[in-house]
Amino acid sequence: MSLASGLPRVQLPLEIHRMILDFTADDKASLAACALVCKTWHPLARAHHFRSFTLTSQTNVSARPLLCDSASSVLPFIRDLSIQEGHKRDRTLWVAKLLPRMRLNELANLESLTLTRFYWTDYRPHARAAVLSALSNVKELRLLSLYTTTVLQMLELLAAAPLLNSLVYTERNEAPEDGIVAHAPPACIPPGLTHLQTNHRDLLRAIRCTTPHPPLTTLVVHELCTATAVELVLLLRASGSTLEHLTLRFIPFADAQPEDTFLALSGLTHSRGLRALTLSATCAAYLPILEQLTSPHIRAVSIALTPYAVVFGQGSFDLRKLAALFARPLLACARLRLVVNEIDLDVLLGLRRTARERLALLWEEGRLDFWSRAVGAGTDALLDAHEASAGERNAASAIRWPPVNIFESER
């Protein structure tokens, strides 16, 4: 991995360099140990092996000095860092003890930071300061199951990341406080934040209250309850035509249907720049929500369905009504993706035939996709054989393998 003096330099493509490095690399623990003592490694090798770095409670102890030891020389090459605290039931407090020793402020080229199950309320000020020192150049921040007592503690992280453009935040507030957003500093939301995924009502409120015209282009909101639906609609109004991609996952079987609140507030009427919409809701709410679309730019709609809804209809939901909706000028160029859950091959084939019959126009125009989230192992080969024998293969509407889950879970 070092360059011997006097040898001719051969210019190889970067891809070839990376293939050689992967082929000759040892396990991560050995690489970590070598990185602390070997000073002749070519920078390309360091940048390749340590571009992404993950630290967990199970990580070999030899990897931890890479972030703490003064002899470590890989810090400038780390661009993607992930630190994962353990579950609450088996916590060892190793993160809280290690954070003050980490040289996080020297991660000058860090672009992406993921913090998983961080118990922010339990960390001492110097441990928090170590995390905040790493955020000055971060463009993508993922806070997965962050334990806080108020949203202000999370906003402290955002305020330290002025270049942030993408945020994933799932909270585990132990004692949420209403009205706390009123005390949020006006500059806590990064001005370039364009991608947001969250389940947190107060974060939506904080963005709306501190940013008159949020620059969001992609918004994913899951675990949508009634109170969150209200804040969501207010944020959609503030975003106006800037928003292009919207994913909404309403809480199923809620006592009060959050979809009703969303519809009553005309949730989609102000999003006139929308290009893609993904929905997971009660089947009766799909058609009313889609009827609220006002964007002339919409090109893709994805909805999650149960097998029962596809075959028999459910509530006011009907595939033929859905087909009529997609024949309107506003949706005449949009693709429809139907996503069905955890069913076997025979049921899946039957559902697809039903969808093709009732959405015939979309099928003929190549605007229909039929996806499954999870199907039994080995059924992809069976499906291929079935389609080959029946002559049913169609690029636009064949079931996609491997099965795809359109809703990313950050739990």
pLDDT one-digit tens code per residue, 98-111: 899 999 999 999 99
Residues composing the chain: 411
End-to-end CA distance of the chain: 39
Contacts of 282 (CB under 8 A, 6+ apart): 250, 252, 257, 259, 315
Is residue 275 within 8 Å of residue 300, measured between CB atoms?
Answer: yes
In the predicted model, what is the mean pLDDT of residues 312-334? 82
Q: Whole domain around residue 358: which residue ranges? A: 314-390
Per-residue pLDDT, 313 = 56
Neighbouring C-beta atoms of residue 221, cutoff 10 Å: 24
In the predicted model, what is the mean pLDDT of residues 350-354? 80
Domain end position, chosen among 50, 72, 93: 50
Per-residue pLDDT, 404 = 41
Is the pLDDT at 380 greater than 70? The verdict is no
Residue 28 lies in a domain: yes
Alpha-helix residue ranges (DSSP H) falling in 177-327: 201-210, 226-239, 258-264, 283-291, 307-312, 319-325
Is the pLDDT at 93 greater than 90? The verdict is no
State the Cα–Cα distance between residues 75 and 105, nearest whole angstrom.
10
Residue 254 lies in a domain: no
Q: Which residue has the higher pLDDT, 34 or 238?
A: 238
In the predicted model, what is the mean pLDDT of residues 118-133? 91
Residue 327 lies in a domain: yes
Residue 372 lies in a domain: yes
Is the pLDDT at 261 greater than 90? The verdict is yes
Amino acid at 249: R
351 φ/ψ angles, rounded to the nearest 5 degrees: -65, -40
User: What is the number of domains present in the chain?
Assistant: 2
E-strand stretches of 112-211: 112-116, 140-146, 166-171, 195-198
Give whichever of 7-16, 150-159, 329-338, 365-374 has the largest mean pLDDT: 329-338
Give whichever of 3-12, 50-59, 229-238 has the largest mean pLDDT: 229-238
Q: Which of 155-159, 185-189, 279-283 has the lowest mean pLDDT?
A: 185-189
Determine the 3-state secondary structure of 366 from DSSP. coil
Per-residue pLDDT, 237 = 95
Determine the 3-state secondary structure of 274 from DSSP. coil
Per-residue pLDDT, 403 = 39
Residue 376 lies in a domain: yes
Contacts of 168 (CB under 8 A, 6+ apart): 141, 142, 143, 144, 196, 197, 198, 410
